[in-house]
């Protein structure tokens, strides 16, 4: 039986979840993974009243963990720059690294992998994307004979939890507060609800799927904070629901990369994944479209992914740190893409308002597939809901601005429709 001595850096929810998983499930890990895991040391700046590590050695300086007699550094501190420095120091000291930190992989992964290869160690990061749902190993091992053409997924459990509740009639703000109370959202939820978390994850998946270096961070990202519950009502009437979708697509010599809210058909696979679940569709040439789903948040699911990396480390010679990917990730200009759009427009209930609005679309050459004036609102206002024909993204911002400049209009909201 293999044995790994590990040091855990960090002592928050994820780290204590890993500690408890190893403590409670070690017999299962020995049986299924042919591995015994020994936690030698924990790097913790302060104690955690929710978990007692017993007689395991504690280092108050997390960098001192590396100096102990261990095989693997498990980085669970989060953040970017300190995590980078910790990982690089571990690598230079010939320690393997397992991390659940998608931000440090997205921003510094290429540097980290190069250093790991030079030092003959592995860096594994299954839990960095979709917690314990095994998408990383799926792309790097199980689909190694396939050409992946597209990945589309709901990659942030917090956003999916909020949108699922809004679909049932809840407002955004109290749902966000509920997510924070349940531990699905951080006290500062910006990273989740404004799309950055999903963006980091789709960037990592894109690199693995298409064999490129990690992408630059300037692709299109939009969060869910502007979505209203009324959008779900009107979307449902048209056979859609609202999700936050991250997409990477191989378009010959360039990559399409984006993360933003979309309307998707309400009978689709992704539309029916609720709460904190992550869901991913992977399009391949040999196997067709694969669906994978699992919990996208929580200490247990993250711990599952970390343990799977440790088992892989002990039993496999495959090293994704020694990737042959060298090509730069050239991105398609987002403004050159075309989408259908859902528009919600709040306008005064006066003669000629519909004609004024439709003229704005006509000036841009944008066709309208359907348009409906809904029930009156308060203060003599009416909602107008329309679906456009596909039009180029570069015209979208100007179109919204032109509509808002109409004296009769006081609100415009739009959501792209995912049709592929």
Active site residues: 201
Length of the chain: 420
Measured in degrees and rounded to the nearest 5, phi and psi for residue 179 equal -60, -40
Name the residue with tokens 């980078």.
84
Cα separation, 57 vs 11, whole angstroms: 13
Distances, alpha carbon 310 to alpha carbons 11, 65, 140, 293, in Å: 18, 17, 16, 22
b/e code 145-180 from CB counts within 10 Å (16+ = b): ebebbbbbbbbbbbbbbbbbbbbeebebeebbeebe
**Token pair recorded at residue 312:** 């892989």
b/e code 393-405 from CB counts within 10 Å (16+ = b): bebbeebbebbee
Distances, alpha carbon 22 to alpha carbons 33, 36, 53, 66, 310, in Å: 12, 9, 12, 20, 11
Cα separation, 382 vs 373, whole angstroms: 7
Going 364 to 366 to 371 to 374, the CA torsion angle's sign is negative
Structure letter (DSSP) for residue 157: H
Nearest partner of 74 among 111, 24, 119, 37, judged by Cα:
37
Q: What share of the chain is helix, strand, coil (3-state, %, to 5)?
A: 40, 30, 35
Distance between alpha carbon 35 and the CA centroid of its chain, in Å? 30
Measured in degrees and rounded to the nearest 5, phi and psi for residue 195 equal 95, -5
Distance between alpha carbon 144 and the CA centroid of its chain, in Å? 22
């Amino acid at each position: 039986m293999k044995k790994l001595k590990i040091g855990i850096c960090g002592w928050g929810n994820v780290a204590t979840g890993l500690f408890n998983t190893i403590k409670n499930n070690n017999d299962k890990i020995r049986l299924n993974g042919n591995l015994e895991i020994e936690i030698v040391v924990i790097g913790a700046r302060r104690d955690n009243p929710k978990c007692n590590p017993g007689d395991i050695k504690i280092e108050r300086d997390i960098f001192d963990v590396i100096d102990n007699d261990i095989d693997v550094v498990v980085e669970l501190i989060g953040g970017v720059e300190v995590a980078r420095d910790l990982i690089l120091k571990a690598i230079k000291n010939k320690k393997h690294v397992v991390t659940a930190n998608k931000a440090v992989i997205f921003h510094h992964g290429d540097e980290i992998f190069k250093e790991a290869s030079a030092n003959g160690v592995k860096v594994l990061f299954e839990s960095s994307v979709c917690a314990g749902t095994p998408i990383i190993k799926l792309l790097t091992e199980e689909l190694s004979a396939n050409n992946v053409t597209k990945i589309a997924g709901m990659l942030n459990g917090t956003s999916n939890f909020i949108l699922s509740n809004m679909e049932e009639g809840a407002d955004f703000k109290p749902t966000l507060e509920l997510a924070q109370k349940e531990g699905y959202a951080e006290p500062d939820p910006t990273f989740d609800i404004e799309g950055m978390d999903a963006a980091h994850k789709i960037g990592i998946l894109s690199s693995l799927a298409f064999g490129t270096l990690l992408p630059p961070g300037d692709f299109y990202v939009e969060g869910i904070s502007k979505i209203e519950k009324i959008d779900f009502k009107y979307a449902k009437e048209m056979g859609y629901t609202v999700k936050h979708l991250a997409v990477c697509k191989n378009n010959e010599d360039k990559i399409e990369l984006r993360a933003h809210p979309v309307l998707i058909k309400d009978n689709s696979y992704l539309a029916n994944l609720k709460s904190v679940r992550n869901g991913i569709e992977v399009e391949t040439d040999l196997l067709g479209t694969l669906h994978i789903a699992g919990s996208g948040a929580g200490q247990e699911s993250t711990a599952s992914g970390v343990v799977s990396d440790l088992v892989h480390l002990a039993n496999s010679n495959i090293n994704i740190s020694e990737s042959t990917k060298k090509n730069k990730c050239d991105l398609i200009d987002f403004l050159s893409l075309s989408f259908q759009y859902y528009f919600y427009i709040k306008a005064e209930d006066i003669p000629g308002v519909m004609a004024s609005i439709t003229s704005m679309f006509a000036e841009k050459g944008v066709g309208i597939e359907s348009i409906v004036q809904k029930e009156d609102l308060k203060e003599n206002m009416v909602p107008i809901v329309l679906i456009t024909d596909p039009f180029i993204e570069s015209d979208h911002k100007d179109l919204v601005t032109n509509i808002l400049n109409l004296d009769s209009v006081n609100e415009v909201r739009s959501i792209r429709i995912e049709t592929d």
